[in-house]
Amino acid sequence: MHLKHTLKLVWFMIEYTTTHTGLDICDPIPERIQADRRLISASHGDIHLDKQEVIGRVLDVIKSFPNDDPSKVTPDVHFQKDLGLDSLDNVEIVMALEEEFKLEIPDKEADKIDSCHLAVKYIHNHPMAG
């Protein structure tokens, strides 16, 4: 009975969509709807950024930070030990990462991010990172 109810609901949604939007179920999905679908999938943890992309973008953010030497920035660099940055610099890097990846990192988690490795790990595992 549950499957029958689900199928009826799906059929109703198809009929409603084709009647009220003018779309045919055989038409290509408009880009706006595809983008919304990707966002919904991402919010459910189905889509993650590629780890290499995350590494590259994290490194770019850190290299662009004015208080460090870009030649020292590697995927394993520690912000304080290797780059000589202080805790305020660390906060600014995390804020720049939040902006780059369009996400909000809670203070409790942000305090733990003190290296490229941990930044990459957090962002790669975050379902809303974009």
Residues 29 and 56 grouped into a single domain: no
pLDDT band at 113 (very low <50, low <70, confident <90, very high): very high
Judge whether 130 lies within some domain.
no
Are 75 and 117 in contact, with CB atoms under 8 Å apart? yes
Mind telling me the catalytic residues? 86
Q: How far apart are CA 112 and CA 126, in angstroms?
A: 15
pLDDT at 36: 47
- 77 and 115 share a domain? yes
Residue range(s) defining the domain that contains residue 121: 51-125
Q: Are residues 35 and 76 in the same domain?
A: no
The answer on 15 and 64 residing in a single domain is no
Pairwise CA distance, residues 116 & 122, whole Å: 10
Give the whole-angstrom CA distance, residue 68 versus residue 79. Answer: 9
CATH code for the domain of 114: 1.10.1200.10
Domain count, the chain: 2
Amino acid at 14: I
* pLDDT 10s digits, 56-101: 999 999 999 887 788 899 999 999 999 999 999 999 999 999 999 9
**How do residues 7-57 score in pLDDT, each as one tens digit?**
666 666 666 666 666 655 555 555 544 444 444 445 444 556 788 999 999
Distance (Å, whole) CA 42 – CA 48: 7
pTM summary value: 0.63
The set of residues, in sequence order, having a beta carbon less than 8 Å from that of 79 and lying 6+ positions away, is 62, 85, 89, 90, 93, 114, 115
